[in-house]
Amino acid sequence: MHAGGMTRPRRPVAQIVPPYLLRHLATTTEPIAEFARATLTRDHRYRHNRATATATGAGGHRSAMATPAAEAPSRRISDAANAQHLPGRTVRDEGAPATGDAAVDEAYDGFGATWKLYKDVYGRNSIDGSGLRLLGTVHYGEGYQNAFWNGTRMVFGDGDGEIFGRFTASLDVIGHELTHGVVEHTAALTYSGQSGALNESIADVFGVLVKQYSLGQDAAAADWLIGGDLLLPGVKGVALRSMLHPGTAYDDPRLGKDPQPDSMSGYVETTDDNGGVHYNSGIPNRAFALAATTIGGPAWEKAGRVWYDVLTGGKLKAGADFAAFAQLTITAAAARFGADSPEAAGIRDGWTAVGVSAGSTTTVPSGKPPVDTEAELLLRRTGGFAGIPRQRQAKLAELPARDRRTWQGLLADDLLPRLAAESSPRPDAFAYCVTCIAVELDVEVAEPDLPLRLRRLFERTLSGQ
């Protein structure tokens, strides 16, 4: 396998129902299975179309993104009439009365509630902070089991009518999808691996805060469920995700069992689901829910404020991992409430409880055993202005003890494939190729895309130090 450092990955569309769940449904009984297969196909086609539109700069939606001057929400809800064409026919504009169509009115009200949390509590005027119009399309497709944010608008399916009801029914789902827009306009967390799971988690955090704020509900009184109103009667489950108790949201013959881990000991290593973004988001979700319930009172005031500070503070990098994010929340809590405050302590304890060591420079414990020291490593450095390659082939056992252990962990981890997937060739820059047959690893990463500690490791290994 070659994880290919040459092409940038397609920018995935953030969606509320993870692909693994749809794939599971696709193997169950008709007509649910057929709806699931159709949703998967449409999601795939949609992502492809979007990638093409982005690449060519073709936008058809831009005229609808006009910025209103006043600090009030500006909403427009369209109806796709069960077709798959966006945006569909406009059915409710800002200020217009309720239509009587539940999906239209829930989307309109949900957009309003989301706008209100961001404005009232955090002083943010819409997704982009400058009054961006909130666009939504309802009745998308037939039996469509999903809701997603496509970078411009929120799109809601009606559900299949047996497992999933209409996707506008859960206010937290609406808040979740619009928050993907906020993330895109702020930290722009890369939608894969740990940064992708943080992107998902932040969408759940503010999604659930929209619901709690709207209900005037304290952290202690909240259910901390995402998508609780989507599941129809008969489904063995309470929601799509539980932030306080990840892994317990459902256990149903048709849906399978909620696969979310509730701490780093259960961290899921996978190439599925953009590197497990909907699985591992359970870990930071629980850190937030624990911090908020420990601190007490309304979650949007303290823990939510700290998360918002980090999201918009400019220090959160697009490729941040859990440990870096955790450290930023602790620093932000200390800055806002004091280093010895109950808020800072509650947040620190939340991360500790889920096994994330704030600010540690180590990568995830992959759960896999370290690679055997008899494994053969081939490290090649190519490119560079002079174009002279260097390489070293060695058994891990031949390396100095400290670097040997680092290599053993690195080859077992998914860090290199992830860096390779996000890396692109740079003029005159070195490129490192790492090959290890024992773990079927063969990747190429441009030197500027490598963290400093890996550059140093590679240099020492090449020079035989």
Contact residues for Zn ion, defined by CB under 5 A = 14, 200, 203
List the catalytic residue out of 139, 200, 278, 422: 278
419: which residues sit within 8 A by CB, 6+ positions away? 443, 445, 449, 450
Among 380, 381, 395, 218, smallest CA distance to 295 is for: 218
Separation CA 130–CA 150 (nearest Å): 19
Which residue number, 184 or 343, has a Cβ lying nearer to Zn ion? 184
Q: Identify the DSSP state of 280.
A: H
Q: Which is nearer to Zn ion, 117 or 226 (CB)?
A: 226
Beta strands in 108-219 (DSSP E): 134-138, 147-149, 154-156
Instruction: State which residue has the least CB distance to Zn ion.
Output: 14
d(CA 10, CA 33): 27
CB of 230 to Zn ion, least distance (A): 14
Known active-site residue 278 = yes
48 is catalytic: no
Beta strands in 253-326 (DSSP E): 256-257
Contacts of 412 (CB under 8 A, 6+ apart): 366, 368, 369, 370, 371, 439
CB of 176 to Zn ion, least distance (A): 6
Least distance in angstroms from the C-beta of 206 to Zn ion:
11
Q: Which amino acid is at 315?
A: K
Q: How far is the CB of 196 from Zn ion (least distance, A)?
A: 9
Task: Specify the long-range contacts of residues 461-465, CB closer than 8 Å, at least 24 apart.
Answer: 461/377, 461/379, 461/392, 461/394, 461/399, 461/403, 461/407, 462/379, 462/381, 462/390, 462/391, 462/392, 464/392, 465/400
Tell me how far, at minimum, the Cβ of 147 lies from Zn ion, in Å.
9
Residue 70 CB coordination number (10 Å): 8
Enumerate the active-site residues.
Answer: 177, 278
